[in-house]
Structure 1
Amino acid sequence: MKKIPLLMLLSAIIFLSLHPTLSYAQDDSLPTKRIVGYFAEWNIYLENNYYEVSDIPWDMVTHINYAFAKIEIGRIAIIDKWAAIQKPFDAILDTPIRGHFGQLIKYKEQYPHVKTLISVGGWTESKYFSDVALTEESRNTFADSCVEFIRTYRFDGVDIDWEYPVSGGMPENIRRPEDKQNFTLLLKCLREKLDAAGAEDGKHYLLTIAAPAGSFNIKNTEPEIYHQYLDFINIMTYDYSGSWENVANHLAPLYMNPNDPSYPERKEKFNVDWTVKEYLRLGVPAEKINVGVPYYAAGWQEVNGGINGLFGTSSKPLSSTQFHYINSLLKSPDLGFTRYWDEYAMVPYLWNPESATVYSYEDEISLKNKCDYVIENNLGGIMIWELSGITAEGGTTLTSVIYDSFTSFKDEIYGDLNGDGKVNSSDLAILKRYMLRAISDFPIPEGRKLADLNRDGNVNSTDYSILKRYILKAIDNIPVDD
């Protein structure tokens, strides 16, 4: 075995510790992009869609954000001690910590590639961020408490979910005009404290945030400055529409729909593509950006007008519901719901004309489009809010789409429907048989995606025509915008 000079070895160790994301591609079974899943503390209770740490698809994620911790007397604090550190599950290795935290420690032993972060704040617990960010003393106190917290409970980092600096969020939130600059200073302080602790502990502690998608809230922060202190940024690219509005619009559209009757600024900016491009314009490195995706749906009843309900006016907005509920509606045709696809926004929605009900949601097709968007734009990955949304299905439907996208995309060839690495008449025959229902599925798992040659969410005669034209060399490239 060739001896490696000590200095070279130490340099390599230091380099990898400062660049932890570089390790993803070393194992073919690991994603080449981040898959960040939020785990909600309150799901421990039956009425909240019971979901345990053991239900997390550990082999399909790279990071788990535990939601949430709160701020108490200027320090980070546990919200629900029973759920977090007391509830007895099974025996937990050599630690006295029980609850979800103990389970996280246990499963991290089995899946060492997964990093866990404690998320502070969220929609309901952002009241005191303005206070902890206000002065150098308050920032140091809070940052020191975060270091102590992650050391005690064996987390790999801290995720700040301040919703939102300066304005917005819950009515009782404390807010100040100087939050904009103080937020940056808080992140700087946290970065310095985490780096100092990491140097002592021989590891790199992560610092991330959940960042707003709306243009107004983005303007109240300084992404062009604060990104240097962060390992990555989870943009909350969802809730573009919801129960606070009386118009049935898309929850998480990838692109703008030119037929959206909203006022011009909303029409232009309320979509994933605009939000991502705004952060890029402000100087955030593409590889630090994770696109947020919802495992839930927004809904409206008593909808009048619109396009099969979309853009219609509602007198009864509904509370959000989880993806597995939407799946149950689709699997019960007698309930009267029909799935429609918005070819502009690249997302689906459901419409029931009898009950005048609309649901906007994410499905496997729209999620795959977003994964492709991440790849094509060299972004960092996908963030999921939140993992329990598919639990009633007893599987990992949506998460599998993300995982497969980020582990096999290099080998995928549009039009190669039998997986032999070529696009020829054999693939055309397979597509024809599929459209005639002579076969119920494609020979390879990703076949449906690779057969959607214009990426409109459907496999039909248009795709057949594209494939035939490509084989006859009438066109040079697929997929195409058709």
Structure 2
Amino acid sequence: MRTHLLGLAAAAALLAGSAVAAEVGSYYTAWSVEKNFRLKQFDQSGAAAGFTYLVYAFENVYKMPDGGYRCDSGRDDEDTGNGMRATLDYAHRFGAGESVDGSADKPGQPLAGNFNQLRQLKKRHPQLKLLVALGGGEWSHWFSAGAATPELRRALVSSCIDLYLRGNLPRLDGHGGAGAAAGIFDGIDLDWEHPGLDDKASFTLLLEEFRRQLDALGKPAGKHYLLTAAVNSTDEKMRYTDPAAYSRSLDWINLMTYDFHGAWSKQGPTGFQSNLYPDPASGDDSPRSVDSGVQRFLKAGVPADKIVVGVPFYARGWSGVDAANNGLYQKATGPAQGFEEGAEQYSTIAARHLPSFYHPLTRQLWTYDKGTFWTYDDPRVIREKAGYVRERGLRGLMSWSLDQDDAAFSLSRAMQDARR
């Protein structure tokens, strides 16, 4: 009997340890500094203490004159597809009142900008792992070509590791240099949006090459570098990859379980963008939900402890929406107006105190007021997703993106329920 009780105690301790070890993370965007967001706010709020990782978004991959494809830095270029914002990365100078540790950036110091702020944040929160995201919605143009052969993959991966993990940055306005960013990032997040029909094998092979080179980099010091990937959760995108194969190279998948509906369908019908469960009444041919995406990846062979559920810190919306059913599943005349067409950050929506409605089946929130419909997550919705993660033994929760939370970091705090 005593042995049995000890076994139960050990099992309970193991489960408790597993819950505490859940990941809680967010994407931190390079351009959020231009929206007056500072990592100092995140630190001083106390929310940073409950996070396990941040992903810095984004860095680009470029076609080089020699015909190869590599990570690169050292200049600014506003071109949408081939752009670069290196000044924001490591040459923008934060004043003392803006910086995490209260020190002002000075001319000539090797590292300034967002990278230095991340370094300061990490020093204050040693539990925080930092990853750098490659690609994204606008900067994934060259992944397919760069992953096409073993030689191209080796060169691509080597260049990214040299820049962001070895920290060898080109000189820019007196900043940068060999090893300037060394020790900041603990890994790489591949955000290839999105592999196509001919990229199935290449996607897996590119991640295998990242894993091989990251392991080689960390071996002398006994350090494990993280490798993650941001992946669309829908069947339409998943079919072009092999989750069971590529997940073997990953520490976890940042599953983009949002953007199920949006005003890219300008006339609607309106629908939920990040609902936990599907609703048969939605009229969708293929109902989308967080649970549907998670189950899809589990059935494809991805272990539960490699799935991190994504939550949006922004709303999707339409205008000119019919009033029936408080605007839900109704026609519209166009996108609602927000920080971009059809989207608004949570902090702005929450401050309006609009009439809101909660759907008990899908576990999603929406607002409807004067013909405008918004669908989004609030703290209650995110806590329910945190419970879902705990109950199913998933890896954790992540969000897009940190700067869209409110001043109290209400959504970020709700995410931390995944660790309880």
| Fold similarity call, TM over 0.5 | yes
TM-score range (shorter-chain normalised) is 0.7 to 0.9
CA deviation after TM superposition for structure 1 residue 141, in Å: 0.6
Q: 2:60 aligns to what SS in structure 1?
A: strand
- Measured in 2, the distance between the counterparts of 1:36 and 1:100 equals 17
Query: What is the aligned partner in structure 2 of residue 39 from structure 1?
Result: 28
Q: Tell me whether 1:59 sits opposite 2:79 in the alignment.
A: no
CA deviation after TM superposition for structure 1 residue 118, in Å: 0.5
- Measured in 2, the distance between the counterparts of 1:406 and 1:251 equals 21
Query: What is the aligned partner in structure 1 of residue 316 from structure 2?
Result: 298
Q: 1:292 aligns to what SS in structure 2?
A: strand
Query: What is the aligned partner in structure 2 of residue 347 from structure 1?
Result: 364
Letter in 2 for 1:345: T
Letter in 1 for 2:149: T
User: Pairwise CA RMSD of aligned residues?
Assistant: 2.0
Structure 2 length-normalised TM = 0.81
Alignment partner of 1:202 out of 211, 222, 233:
222
8 Å contact 1:39–1:387 — kept in the other structure?
yes
Query: What is the aligned partner in structure 1 of residue 373 from structure 2?
Result: 358
Letter in 1 for 2:275: P
- Measured in 2, the distance between the counterparts of 1:55 and 1:67 equals 18
CA deviation after TM superposition for structure 1 residue 247, in Å: 1.7
Letter in 2 for 1:262: D
- Measured in 2, the distance between the counterparts of 1:95 and 1:220 equals 45
Q: Tell me whether 1:386 sits opposite 2:409 in the alignment.
A: no
Query: What is the aligned partner in structure 1 of residue 383 from structure 2?
Result: 368
Q: 1:37 aligns to what SS in structure 2?
A: strand
Q: 1:75 aligns to what SS in structure 2?
A: strand
Query: What is the aligned partner in structure 2 of residue 401 from structure 1?
Result: 414
- Measured in 2, the distance between the counterparts of 1:229 and 1:400 equals 30
CA deviation after TM superposition for structure 1 residue 315, in Å: 1.1
8 Å contact 1:92–1:103 — kept in the other structure?
no
Within 5 Å, give how 1:226-245 maps onto structure 2: 226-245=246-265
Query: What is the aligned partner in structure 1 of residue 213 from structure 2?
Result: 193
CA deviation after TM superposition for structure 1 residue 58, in Å: 2.1
Within 5 Å, give how 1:129-144 maps onto structure 2: 129-144=143-158
- Measured in 2, the distance between the counterparts of 1:103 and 1:31 equals 27
Shift in alpha-carbon separation, 1:317–1:194, aligned structure 2, 3 A: same
Alignment partner of 2:72 out of 66, 77, 81:
77
- Measured in 1, the distance between the counterparts of 2:111 and 2:146 equals 28
CA deviation after TM superposition for structure 1 residue 180, in Å: 0.9
Higher relative contact order (CA 8 A, sep 6+): 2
Q: Tell me whether 1:321 sits opposite 2:344 in the alignment.
A: yes
- Measured in 1, the distance between the counterparts of 2:274 and 2:367 equals 14
Q: Which runs of 4+ in 1 moved over 6 A?
A: 92-95
Query: What is the aligned partner in structure 2 of residue 112 from structure 1?
Result: 126
Q: 1:220 aligns to what SS in structure 2?
A: coil
- Measured in 2, the distance between the counterparts of 1:31 and 1:99 equals 32
- Measured in 2, the distance between the counterparts of 1:376 and 1:249 equals 26
Q: 2:72 aligns to what SS in structure 1?
A: strand
Letter in 1 for 2:188: V
8 Å contact 1:143–1:190 — kept in the other structure?
yes
Letter in 1 for 2:325: I
- Measured in 1, the distance between the counterparts of 2:105 and 2:301 equals 44
Shift in alpha-carbon separation, 1:58–1:151, aligned structure 2, 3 A: farther
Q: 2:390 aligns to what SS in structure 1?
A: helix
CA deviation after TM superposition for structure 1 residue 139, in Å: 0.2
- Measured in 2, the distance between the counterparts of 1:199 and 1:137 equals 23
Q: 1:112 aligns to what SS in structure 2?
A: coil
Query: What is the aligned partner in structure 2 of residue 183 from structure 1?
Result: 203
Query: What is the aligned partner in structure 2 of residue 126 from structure 1?
Result: 140
CA deviation after TM superposition for structure 1 residue 91, in Å: 4.3
Q: 2:229 aligns to what SS in structure 1?
A: strand
8 Å contact 1:305–1:311 — kept in the other structure?
no
Letter in 2 for 1:196: A
Alignment partner of 1:272 out of 290, 302, 306:
290
The alignment covers a number of residue pairs equal to 355
Structure 2: unaligned runs, 5 residues or longer: 1-13, 64-68, 74-83, 95-102, 168-180, 337-341
- Measured in 1, the distance between the counterparts of 2:379 and 2:238 equals 29
Q: 2:209 aligns to what SS in structure 1?
A: helix
Please list the CA deviations of residues 331-382 of structure 1 after superposition, one character each: whole Å capped at 9, or x if unmatched.
xxxxxx3111111110110011xx2110000011111110000000000000
Structure 1: unaligned runs, 5 residues or longer: 1-21, 167-176, 331-336, 410-482
Q: 2:36 aligns to what SS in structure 1?
A: coil
- Measured in 2, the distance between the counterparts of 1:402 and 1:128 equals 34
8 Å contact 2:93–2:105 — kept in the other structure?
no
Larger Rg: 1
8 Å contact 1:32–1:406 — kept in the other structure?
no
Q: Tell me whether 1:216 sits opposite 2:212 in the alignment.
A: no
Alignment partner of 2:189 out of 159, 167, 174:
159
